[in-house]
Amino acid sequence: MSYIVVNQISDFELHFRTIFLVQSLIKEPETHRLAFTLALHALQLPRGPAATKFLEVKLYHLEAELVNLLRRLEIGAYELQLIRDRARIFVMNASIFASSPHARVLPISLAHYLLDALSYSHNITSSYQGRRSSSGITTRSSAQRRPSDEELAVKVALEALGMKLMVSEADNPMLCESTRRQRGELAITMLMRYKDCTEKLAVVLDQLLDPTMHHMYKDHQSNAAYYLEQDAVHVKLYGGQRPQYPYHGQRSDWLKECLDNESGSLNRLLIAEAANSTNFLSAIIL
């Protein structure tokens, strides 16, 4: 049913109606939670390339406006858990997204917001001081981030950086340009935020400098070899292999939950996502 509804309404109209609803809902504190849920589900809905260059540019700006509205909303315990669930689904769906033969717009804006909203080190100081972080996000005292949220945030961003846009630039120049801009902004955010962490710099540069496109070193599979060779543990365990995140094969609680198919967490999250998307679309159409 939700698939039929998506195809009955254009991407432009969907984003336009969502922004109107969110702008109306954020005026009252009682409806902030609904506004947050609507905006987040709008960002996660997949879409294909726009029919024209003009429409692609309009959609790019509408998506940016939707992200700005999300950043204005305070994050409480409910919102933080919703962000965690969305981030886990993002990680679990990354391989499916990459192997899909259909042309889809990359969810880089969503990944960038998830990175900023979940990052423990980025938000912990500002939340203690009761002010907005540099990304414009405010967190209520009831929402407590965990160090494992940082790992989940980085994993989401790395998956987004590694995604390939399966369209022709000759046919979709505006989409390719907007994707490059979004990827560049996400990459700069990560490089600046983790400039003092060699491990994270290595995995970020490994995704940016894709060795399948251009191989720089004969004796190393990764183009981030300069940083990897400074880590004695990586050299001993993995040699010239490309790095994986979490680093050194460590598994966090969130990663175990994502990889453990027997636990049923994957199915529960996907079912919840489908139900929420259906509710979101129903609200938009009404």
Contact by Cβ (8 Å): 79, 85? no
Q: DSSP E strands: which ranges in the chain?
A: none
How far apart (Å, rounded) are the C-alpha atoms in residues 139 and 255?
24
Contact by Cβ (8 Å): 186, 161? yes
Nearest to 3 by CA among 66, 62, 46, 50: 46
**H/E/C letters for each residue in 48-79?**
CCCCCHHHHHHHHHHHHHHHHHHHHCCECHHH
Task: Specify the pTM.
Answer: 0.83
How far apart (Å, rounded) are the C-alpha atoms in residues 79 and 82?
5
First CA to last CA across the chain, in angstroms?
Answer: 15
Q: What is the pLDDT along the chain (286 residues), one digit of tens a residue?
A: 333 344 446 888 999 999 999 999 999 999 999 999 999 999 998 899 999 999 999 999 999 999 999 999 999 999 999 999 999 999 988 888 877 778 889 999 999 999 999 987 666 655 444 555 566 788 887 778 888 888 999 999 999 999 989 899 999 999 999 999 999 999 999 999 988 888 888 889 888 888 888 888 877 878 877 778 787 777 777 788 888 887 655 555 555 555 454 344 444 544 455 455 555 555 554 5
Q: How far is CA 209 from CA 38, 162, 206, 214, 248, in A?
A: 35, 10, 5, 8, 20
* Enclosing H/E stretch for 284: helix 265-285
Instruction: Enumerate residues 6+ apart whose C-beta is below 8 A from 27.
Output: none
Q: What 8-state DSSP symbol labels residue 214?
A: -
